[in-house]
């Protein structure tokens, strides 16, 4: 757990804040109930600040509230259960404040938490120390290349993405540039194409998977993934996994507002605690059979030399899908089964593994050995158009899981503006708005023009091409280069500079580089330099 609370924090008591919507003072704290609480906060300089919230949540589950800064939503905070309405704990978010007077409000999303006070202190950024290793030690050359590229650009650029839905013309795949969401973005950004495109195996398994349309849909996702990768892009797959037992064709749980499945994950286990699998159970056999179906599609991609981002059993801790409905322990058992089945049993080494967090679900984490990227799915609720950086969401994941994994905005509505990302230091690896009106309404035509034409954003047109891309190699040997080598004679704009871990360094000139050891690549050569 990382903690950046400054000794110079300014405390603001909840009972002195402005209340609305039914929030009430209860002695020395405020019961939010269905209401909101707004603090008048003053800071000496503009920048990012830690907002430590002392709270109590005596409910039977976590509660999410929104953070609103100066009238604009800035993300959310998940308040885990504390054991009682006056059993206090602390949680921290990060916000961007202007110099002087600000308002920082905690507003109802799910409601019903108690707030004692907030502390406001200057945020101290903790640098990432990314692990250079993939979760699958046998990852193939294509997966390692994509992974290395993403690490090289992490916190330097953001990879543009979008989720697809309508990908068929009759029973045939449409061309990538004619796919609805991709075309909308291209039409409104002077022809800029998302570098990452999301696909779904939602029709590959389930009660109706044998239908011609369903098969055509799944085949089309593979066809488009190949087209994208061959153009230098990054395919990303999720899987809305329909009832493995095929008693119904649903994937939602009873806690969702949607039609649920009656599939119970624990019936595949030896007990309700779900410590181990009952490999003789029909439920377990159905689960494995479905995983094997997906494996065939992924193998087709591997055989074609295509690496993919693979995000199975997503959003589990929310509980609205069957794979998360029974809790963290069954979910982690399932996630590891998928990992082992696809990598060890099926020999799929083209996958980069993405796991979803809500920023307060450490108990659900399968472990560093099973995860390459930690993704955050974030949608504003109540829904709104908002292009803030979501720095609080970014930092909450970093604080919870450390700095060895890249963090992505794996699903979203409104896309953060690139300048907001740079100003706040919210270095998401990539963004991927969901299909339909999340692309066309939560992000306007002018928004897409602004986003896709910013130099901070990697589009398909600015990708290097996988055949041309050379993954950086970590440098661990002594400083070399020869007495006659003077790096200062090189045109900085014509070289690539990497740190000793092989991560590319972006700067405008030599003078901007801090002291240290670097490797400089130019005209096919690599030389190591020591800046003193």
Tally of structural domains, the chain:
3
Same domain, 396 and 500: no
CA distance 36 to 30: 10
Based on the domain organization, do 293 and 153 belong to the same domain?
yes
Which of the two residues, 532 and 397, has the higher pLDDT score? 397
Tell me the C-alpha distance between 434 and 165, whole Å.
9
Is the pLDDT at 148 greater than 70? The verdict is yes
Residue whose tokens read 């720095």: 391
Q: Are residues 413 and 267 in the same domain?
A: yes
Q: What tokens appear for 6 in the block?
A: 């400054």
Domain identity same for 180 and 266: yes
Of 92, 122, 152, which one is at a domain's C-terminal end? Answer: 122
The predicted pLDDT at position 9 comes to 79
Q: How many CB atoms lie within 10 A of CB 375?
A: 27
Please report whether residue 468 resides in a domain.
no
Q: How many CB atoms lie within 10 A of CB 373?
A: 24
| Domain boundary, last residue among 462, 479, 508 | 462
The predicted structure's pLDDT at residue 521: 76
Instruction: Judge whether 78 lies within some domain.
Output: yes
Whether 355 is covered by a domain: the verdict is yes
- Rounded CA gap, 394 and 76, in Å? 11
Does residue 470 lie within any of the structural domains? no
Under the banding of pLDDT at 50, 70 and 90, the label for residue 477 is: very low
pLDDT of the residue at 531 = 74
Q: For residue 165, report the phi and psi dihedrals to the nearest 5 degrees.
A: -145, -70
Question: At 80, which CATH number?
Answer: 2.60.120.260
Residue, of 526 and 275, whose pLDDT is higher: 275
Q: Residue 61: what pLDDT? A: 87
Kind and range of the H or E run holding 144: helix 141-153
In a domain, 349, yes or no: yes
Q: Single out the residue in 122, 149, 169 at which a domain terminates.
A: 122
Inter-helix orientation angle 445-452/180-187, to 10°: 80
Structure tokens at 52: 């430590």
Per the prediction, the chain carries an average pLDDT of 92
Claim to verify: residue 117 and residue 148 sit in the same structural domain: no
Residue 84 CB burial class (10 angstroms; 0-12, 13-18, ≥19): exposed
What is the extent of the structural domain holding 398? 141-462
Name the residue with higher pLDDT: 484 or 98: 98
pLDDT recorded at residue 532: 66
pLDDT at position 363: 95
Q: Report how far residue 411's alpha carbon sits from residue 268's, in angstroms, rounded to the nearest whole number.
A: 30
Please give the average per-residue pLDDT across 377-393, as a whole number: 95
pLDDT in tens, 357-374: 998 999 999 999 999 999
- pLDDT at residue 455 greater than cutoff 90: yes
CA separation for the pair 432, 439 (Å, rounded): 9
Least confident residue range of 158-172, 242-256, 272-286, 460-474: 460-474
What pLDDT is attached to residue 515?
A: 77
Residue range 493-517: average pLDDT?
75
User: 493 pLDDT exceeds 80?
Assistant: no
Q: How remote is the C-alpha of 341 from its chain's centroid?
A: 24
- Going by C-alpha positions, the residue among 356, 426, 429 that lies closest to residue 387 is 426
Any bridge partners for residue 92, and if so which?
52
230/364 same-domain check? yes
Question: For 332-352, b where at least 16 C-beta lie within 10 A, e where not — what string?
Answer: bbbbebbbebbbeebebbbbb
Q: What is the DSSP letter of 269?
A: B
Residue 22 tokens, joined: 């039914």
Query: Does residue 413 sit within a domain?
Result: yes
Same domain, residue pair 89 and 57? yes
pLDDT of 410 = 98
> Which of 127, 125, 126, 147 is closest to 136 using CA atoms?
147
Instruction: Tell me how far CA of residue 124 lies from CA of 6, 46, 188, 224, 225, in angstroms.
Output: 8, 14, 38, 42, 40
Cβ atoms of 226 and 486 within 8 Å: the answer is no
pLDDT in tens, 295-347: 999 999 999 999 999 999 999 999 999 999 999 999 999 999 999 999 999 99
- β-partners of residue 115 are 30, 55
DSSP for 231-259, please give it.
TT-EEEEE-----TT-SSS--B-TTSSSP
Q: Tell whether 99 and 210 lie within a shared domain.
A: no
SS3 474: coil
Q: In this structure, what DSSP letter does residue 260 have?
A: B
When pLDDT is cut at 50, 70 and 90, the band that residue 97 belongs to is very high
pLDDT in tens, 65-85: 999 999 999 999 999 999 899
What pLDDT does residue 6 have? 41
Q: What CATH number has the domain bearing residue 276?
A: 3.20.20.80
Q: Are residues 498 and 380 in the same domain?
A: no
Q: pLDDT band at residue 124, thresholds of 50, 70 and 90?
A: confident
Condensed to tens digits (0 to 9), the pLDDT of residues 41-63 reads 999 999 999 999 999 999 988 99
What's the pLDDT tens digit per position in 245-301? 999 999 999 999 999 999 999 999 999 899 999 999 999 999 999 999 999 999 999
Report yes or no on 218 lying in a domain: yes
Q: What confidence tier does 3 reach under pLDDT thresholds 50, 70, 90?
A: very low
pTM listed for this prediction: 0.87
Cβ-contact 237, 200 below 8 angstroms: yes
Kindly give, in sequence order, each residue whose CB lies less than 8 Å from that of residue 208, ignoring residues fewer than 6 positions away.
Answer: 214, 249
**Cα separation of 239 and 364, whole Å?**
18
Q: Is residue 423 part of a domain?
A: yes
pLDDT over threshold 60, residue 5? no
Q: Which residues are catalytic?
A: 315, 411
Q: pLDDT tier at 485 (50, 70, 90 boundaries)?
A: low
pLDDT score recorded for residue 486 = 65
Q: How confident is the model at residue 473 (pLDDT cuts 50, 70, 90)?
A: low
Do residue 83 and residue 146 come from a single domain? Answer: no
- pLDDT value for 11: 95
Residue 118 shares a structural domain with residue 146: no
Rounded to 5 degrees, φ, ψ at 163 are -95, 145
- Same domain for 313 and 417, yes or no, is yes
């Amino acid at each position: 757990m990382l903690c950046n609370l400054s000794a110079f924090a300014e405390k603001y008591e909840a009972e002195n804040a402005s209340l609305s919507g039914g929030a009430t003072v209860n002695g020395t704290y405020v019961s939010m109930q269905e209401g909101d609480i707004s603090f008048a906060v003053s800071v000496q300089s503009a920048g990012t600040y830690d907002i430590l919230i002392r709270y109590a949540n005596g409910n039977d589950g976590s509660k999410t509230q929104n953070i609103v800064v100066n009238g604009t939503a800035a993300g959310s905070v998940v308040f885990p259960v504390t054991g009682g309405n006056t059993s206090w704990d602390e949680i921290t978010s990060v916000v961007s404040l202007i110099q002087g007077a600000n308002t920082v409000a905690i507003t109802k999303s799910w409601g019903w938490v108690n707030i004692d006070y907030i502390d406001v202190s200057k945020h101290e950024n903790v640098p990432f120390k990314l692990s250079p290793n993939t979760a699958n030690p046998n990852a193939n050359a294509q997966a390692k290349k994509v992974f290395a590229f993403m690490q090289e650009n992490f916190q330097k650029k953001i990879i543009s993405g979008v989720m697809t839905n309508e990908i068929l013309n009759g029973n045939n795949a449409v061309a990538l540039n004619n796919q609805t969401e991709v075309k909308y973005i291209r039409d409104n950004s002077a022809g800029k194409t998302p570098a990452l495109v999301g696909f779904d195996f939602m029709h590959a398994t389930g009660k109706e998977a044998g239908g011609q349309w369903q098969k055509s849909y799944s085949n089309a996702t593979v066809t488009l993934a190949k087209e994208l990768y061959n153009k230098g892009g990054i395919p990303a797959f999720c899987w809305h996994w329909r009832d493995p037992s095929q008693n119904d064709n649903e994937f939602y749980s009873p806690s969702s507002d949607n039609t649920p499945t009656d599939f119970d994950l624990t019936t595949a286990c030896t007990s309700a605690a779900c410590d181990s699998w009952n490999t003789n159970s029909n439920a377990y056999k159905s689960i494995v059979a479905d995983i094997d179906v997906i494996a065939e599609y992924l193998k087709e991609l591997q055989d074609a030399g295509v690496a993919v981002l693979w995000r199975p059993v997503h959003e589990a801790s929310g509980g609205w899908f069957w794979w998360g409905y029974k809790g963290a322990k069954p979910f982690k058992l399932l996630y590891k089964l998928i990992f082992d089945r696809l990598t060890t049993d099926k020999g799929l080494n083209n996958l980069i593994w993405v796991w979803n967090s809500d920023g307060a679900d450490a108990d659900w984490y399968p472990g560093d050995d099973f995860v390459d990227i930690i993704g955050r799915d974030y949608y504003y609720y109540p829904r709104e158009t908002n292009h803030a950086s979501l720095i609080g969401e970014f930092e909450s994941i970093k604080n919870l899981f450390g700095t060895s994994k890249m963090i992505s905005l794996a699903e979203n509505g409104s896309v953060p503006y690139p300048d907001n990302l740079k100003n706040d230091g919210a270095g998401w690896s990539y963004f991927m708005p969901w299909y339909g009106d999340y692309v066309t309404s939560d992000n306007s035509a002018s928004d897409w023009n602004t986003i896709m034409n910013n130099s901070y954003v990697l589009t398909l047109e600015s990708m290097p091409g996988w055949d041309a891309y050379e993954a950086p190699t970590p440098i661990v040997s002594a400083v070399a280069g020869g007495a006659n080598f003077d790096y200062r004679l090189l045109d900085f704009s014509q070289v690539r500079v990497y740190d000793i871990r092989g991560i590319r360094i972006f700067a405008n000139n030599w003078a901007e580089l801090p002291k240290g050891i670097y490797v400089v690549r130019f005209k096919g050569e690599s030389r190591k330099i020591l800046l003193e």
